[in-house]
Structure 1
Amino acid sequence: MSIDRRSFLIGVSALSVASFPVFASSASRIVSLDYAAAETLISLGLPPVGVQSADHWNRWVVEPELPVSVANVGQDLAVNLEVIAALKPDLIITTPYTDMLRGRLEPIAPVHMVAVYNQTGTPLKNAYVETENLGRLAGLQGGVDAFLTSADAEFESLKVRLATKKRPPVALVNFMDRRHVRVYGASSLYQNVLDRIGLENAWTRPTNYWGFATVGLEELARHAPQDMHLIAFEPIVDEIKPTLASSPIWRTMPVVQNGNYQVFPAVLTFGMVPSALRFARLITDYLEGLPS
């Protein structure tokens, strides 16, 4: 999927001004109840003062690095309102999931909801729009423009690097247990990135609102092209690895027998532009390393 800058700006302009919190000046102290918004703020040079589940950042996000100054404000919906209030935020970022806390958060600071996933099935394009929104709220419009221009250039550079390389179809999964995976396809951030840099997704069957389907290994194998490469993302629960090795289904899958299986470090599945770039770099490096 190519991000057309004119379409992007039109989309931003179409957003209702009423959807933005109102405060006297740009927000500089932001608490994020969302990893995707937090990774974006870090990439823009304004790390949040607090983030939910900060202690699990290196398990699910990794890059960009979370500054040690960022406070942990609790887990998911069990956030610590006292800790958030003590941080004296100018703005609190929620998602459609955590926005149910809005009534408890608004007495502390204005709340803005970031929504990347919707019926459009274009999370990468939506991430560009939400990055612009965060930039407006934080007074970082210049930094946002530079960041998104740089992202466009890097996606294009990666596409050029891959143009003359071997580009087999890839299946992208998270292991749920030794027999089931979450496989990503249409409407996922990964799909948008594959489209953007000229790669083919091996999984073309239906996916849910979030862009994935949970299937058994046998179903994955049944619908997979013979030349596909299977990419699994960390984290993989420790007990899955040894049981996989003894699984008859796993051992007889052509992708395993052909040695076309690779484990990637963690990438934030439901991230924004920084996660999209991280995945694009990883898949490009992997494909460039394949024998011609």
Structure 2
Amino acid sequence: MSIDRRLFLGGLAGLAASATVPALAGFSPRIVSLDYAAAETLISLGAPPVGIQSADRWQRWVVEPGLPEGVVNVGQDLAVNLEVIAALKPDMILTTPYTDSLRKRLSVIAPVHKVSVYDQSGTPLVNAYRETGRLGQLAERPAAAARFLETADAEFSAMRDKLAKRPRPPVTLVNFMDNRHVRVYGKSGLYQDVLDRLGLTNAWTRPTNYWGFATVGLEELARQAPSAMHLIAFEPIVDEIRPTLASSPIWRRMPVVEQERFTVFPPVLTFGMVPSALRFARLITNYLEGQGQ
């Protein structure tokens, strides 16, 4: 089994750092998560994992909740470092359908539990509620999970009531893939579920894939966009894309751009669970409230 020496040494350094963080060093059970969504949920329940995949990219893709100091980076995507994971002495390891191909090798280290939110049901927020309760049981925090979900329900309801008193234009939600293509979110995605909870309309009604998005060119986005919609993009946006968009005739002539109904939100974990759903809900509520001033 090959070892990435730099990652292994970095993992050991992280282990040393975690020894100075009582919440991590003394926490039981010790959980390694190979999924950001499960990790953000555990953090929200007061049960942070001792290790996660791609810890170095958390601030780029997740942001909130913050990643506690001392959480160890166990590798990237499917190229996780089994030695670092074993050194953490986890009580369990969390995978998803995407990373569950590693189950056989991981199960030698600790019991493996699969967290499944994005499936054929097309109801990721409902699934996220269910899996939050399950994670609460696994992390020995069932009461914390119940409280968290009750608080989430109350916050969603409060935001829906607040928006009901204001204009609610349809919105289109995208990530820029390059200067000519976007990933646009619709049916079966987490963002759609949040819009539904808030009583908001998604302007994109065309088919999406299993994950709740479609990849389209700017020309198609412009053709499908209703004139009254607001276009919302999410960071991160690669620096090279911005100047190219500024000089693109297609982009500049879109009514949503000409009429300044385009904005950029900070990162929200696209395939997250309840914490990401709440983060997006707060961002869009604040944005639409600002439009009514």
With the length of structure 1 as denominator, give the TM-score of the two structures: 0.90
Q: Which amino acid aligns with 2:107?
A: E
> Does the 8 A contact of 1:162 with 1:284 survive in 2?
yes
**Take 2:92 and 2:151, find their aligned partners in 1: how far apart are those partners?**
27
Alignment of 1:48-197 (within 5 A): 48-197=49-198
Listed one character per residue, the Cα deviations across residues 189-208 of structure 1 (whole Å, up to 9, x for unaligned) are 00000000100001000000
Q: Which amino acid aligns with 2:72?
A: A
Is 2:262 aligned against 1:261?
yes
Alignment of 1:13-32 (within 5 A): 28-32=29-33
Residue of structure 2 in register with 1:246 after alignment: 247
> Does the 8 A contact of 1:27 with 1:137 survive in 2?
no
Q: Which amino acid aligns with 2:147?
A: A
- Specify every segment of 5 or more residues in structure 2 that has no aligned partner in the other structure, as ranges: 1-26
Listed one character per residue, the Cα deviations across residues 198-232 of structure 1 (whole Å, up to 9, x for unaligned) are 00001000000000000011111111110000000
Listed one character per residue, the Cα deviations across residues 25-50 of structure 1 (whole Å, up to 9, x for unaligned) are x9610000000000000000000000
**Take 1:27 and 1:270, find their aligned partners in 2: how far apart are those partners?**
27
Alignment of 1:6-17 (within 5 A): none
Counting aligned pairs with the same residue, the percent is: 75
Report the 3-state secondary structure (helix = DSSP H, G, I; strand = E; otherwise coil) of the residue aligned with 1:289.
helix
Residue of structure 2 in register with 1:281 after alignment: 282
> Does the 8 A contact of 2:30 with 2:91 survive in 1?
yes
Alignment of 1:193-204 (within 5 A): 193-204=194-205
Structure 1 stretches of 4+ with a deviation exceeding 4 A read none
Listed one character per residue, the Cα deviations across residues 86-122 of structure 1 (whole Å, up to 9, x for unaligned) are 0000010001010000011001000000010111110
Report the 3-state secondary structure (helix = DSSP H, G, I; strand = E; otherwise coil) of the residue aligned with 2:291.
coil
Report the 3-state secondary structure (helix = DSSP H, G, I; strand = E; otherwise coil) of the residue aligned with 1:190.
helix
Task: Give 1:137 deviation, angstroms.
Answer: 1.1
Residue of structure 1 in register with 2:15 after alignment: none
> Does the 8 A contact of 1:34 with 1:93 survive in 2?
yes
Q: Which amino acid aligns with 1:58?
A: Q
Residue of structure 1 in register with 2:228 after alignment: 227
Residue of structure 2 in register with 1:14 after alignment: none
Listed one character per residue, the Cα deviations across residues 223-253 of structure 1 (whole Å, up to 9, x for unaligned) are 1110000000000001000100000110000
**Take 1:166 and 1:247, find their aligned partners in 2: how far apart are those partners?**
31
> Does the 8 A contact of 1:226 with 1:254 survive in 2?
yes
Q: Which amino acid aligns with 2:102?
A: L
> Does the 8 A contact of 2:166 with 2:292 survive in 1?
no
Task: Give 1:291 deviation, angstroms.
Answer: 3.4
Task: Give 1:68 deviation, angstroms.
Answer: 1.2
Q: Which stretch of structure 1 is more off in the superposition, 129-138 or 186-195? A: 129-138
**Take 2:44 and 2:116, find their aligned partners in 1: how far apart are those partners?**
18
Is 2:292 aligned against 1:291?
yes
Task: Give 1:81 deviation, angstroms.
Answer: 0.4
